[in-house]
């Protein structure tokens, strides 16, 4: 494709999905981003925090939905918003509830299928920025929630966003949960997620009269156990299996009408390649790209110590085609 980024190739010194996933957090230098924070009141008397990279009033706006326990400080957010700033576009990272550095007010938190929150945020931004193109980007959990919203809304999403990109989205939560709850994944990733999730849940027990099984939440050693004890019941699902099934975006991909790019590395340790959607499982509006390398939102390229330029360039190339 003329003008598209060069095909991704993992440097010889950085093989494998786990290294591609972990390496950016420790070794890739990142620019400093001057965020402007805005707090929005939600319709249910809670709040979310938005971190903005400002630009010209008529510049396109990219809305980035982050991953599980992520924020605007994640390497993928910083690298994308730095590229937006350089291009003269604007960007904003709406934090899922409890991820902006302060506990949210309600007993509920956020979850992988939180398409209602995606809907409210995007429609608010469209209402407040009616004359500029708005693009939606979702990473990991945020990518799954975004894809689910796009499929649910179908043509009703088209007046809201011009195009969308989902990166490393766990479109099959059951398949993703199974691999995250065993082996190296359980030690390297799940244990990290559970530490912060449990801390937030403990605070909710102090602030709210929760009737959940506190001992089961504290004892949870897998995402399935945590979701069974907290995420599912607090958000209206029967149990973890019901939550994972209902919140997965894969069944909704065939209904998407907005031009959408789905990028998942074949060596993503969070989702087996066999669980990735085939071309027959998505609508004609969805472009599938499955690079061989990249890990989970890693995509490190260039000579040592590496850079994160490939993913922002690929995202912006796709979005700019709709202008």
Which of 83, 91, 87 is CA-nearest to residue 31? 83
- Cβ partners under 8 Å of residue 92, min gap 6: 50, 51, 52, 53, 61, 62, 63, 64, 125
Rounded to an integer, what distance in angstroms lies between the CA atom of residue 163 and that of residue 210? Answer: 40
Rounded to an integer, what distance in angstroms lies between the CA atom of residue 301 and that of residue 321? Answer: 24
What DSSP state is assigned to residue 158?
T
- Cβ partners under 8 Å of residue 43, min gap 6: 120
CA 185 to chain centre: 18
CA 290 to chain centre: 17
What is the end-to-end Cα distance of the chain in Å, rounded?
17
Under 8 Å between Cβ of 11 and 309: no
- Cβ partners under 8 Å of residue 174, min gap 6: 241, 244, 245, 248
- Cβ partners under 8 Å of residue 216, min gap 6: 225, 228, 229
75 is catalytic: no
Query: Choosing from 49, 95, 296, 301, which is the catalytic residue?
Result: 296
Rounded to an integer, what distance in angstroms lies between the CA atom of residue 260 and that of residue 249? Answer: 13
Rounded to an integer, what distance in angstroms lies between the CA atom of residue 301 and that of residue 273? Answer: 21
Query: Choosing from 112, 248, 268, 301, which is the catalytic residue?
Result: 268
Starting from the edge strand earliest in sequence, which strands make up the sheet with 61-65, in order? Answer: 36-41, 47-53, 90-94, 61-65, 134-139, 163-167, 260-263, 286-289
Query: Choosing from 72, 79, 140, 249, which is the catalytic residue?
Result: 140
140 is catalytic: yes
Q: How many residues does the chain have?
A: 323
HSE toward the beta carbon, residue 24, CA cutoff 13 A: 25
268 is catalytic: yes
Catalytic machinery residues: 140, 268, 296
């Amino acid at each position: 494709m003329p003008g598209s980024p060069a095909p991704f190739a993992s440097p010889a010194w950085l093989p494998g999905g786990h290294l591609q996933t972990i390496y950016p957090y420790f070794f890739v230098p990142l620019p400093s981003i001057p965020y402007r924070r805005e707090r929005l009141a939600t319709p249910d008397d809670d709040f979310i925090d938005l971190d903005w990279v400002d630009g010209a009033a008529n510049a396109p706006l990219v809305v980035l939905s982050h991953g599980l326990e992520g924020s605007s400080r994640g390497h993928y957010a910083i690298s994308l918003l730095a590229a937006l700033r350089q291009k003269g576009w604007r960007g904003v990272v709406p934090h899922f509830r409890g991820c902006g550095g302060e506990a949210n007010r309600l007993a509920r938190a956020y979850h992988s299928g939180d398409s209602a929150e995606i809907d409210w945020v995007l429609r608010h931004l469209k209402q407040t920025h009616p004359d500029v193109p708005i693009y939606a980007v979702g990473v990991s959990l945020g990518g799954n929630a975004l894809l689910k919203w796009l499929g649910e809304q179908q043509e009703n999403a088209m007046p809201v966003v011009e195009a969308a990109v989902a990166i490393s989205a766990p479109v099959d939560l059951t398949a993703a949960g199974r691999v995250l709850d065993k082996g190296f994944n359980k030690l390297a990733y799940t244990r990290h997620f559970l530490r912060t999730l449990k801390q937030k849940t403990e605070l909710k027990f102090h602030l709210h009269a929760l009737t959940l099984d506190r001992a089961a939440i504290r004892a949870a050693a897998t995402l399935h156990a945590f979701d069974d004890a907290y995420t599912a019941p607090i958000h209206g699902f029967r149990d973890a299996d019901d939550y994972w099934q209902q919140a997965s975006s894969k069944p909704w991909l065939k209904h998407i009408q907005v031009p959408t790019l789905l990028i998942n590395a074949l060596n993503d340790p969070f989702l087996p390649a066999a669980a990735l959607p085939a071309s027959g499982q998505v609508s004609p509006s969805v472009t599938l790209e499955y690079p061989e390398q990249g890990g989970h939102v890693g995509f490190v390229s260039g000579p040592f110590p590496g850079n994160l330029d490939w993913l922002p360039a690929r995202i912006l190339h796709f979005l700019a085609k709709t202008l």
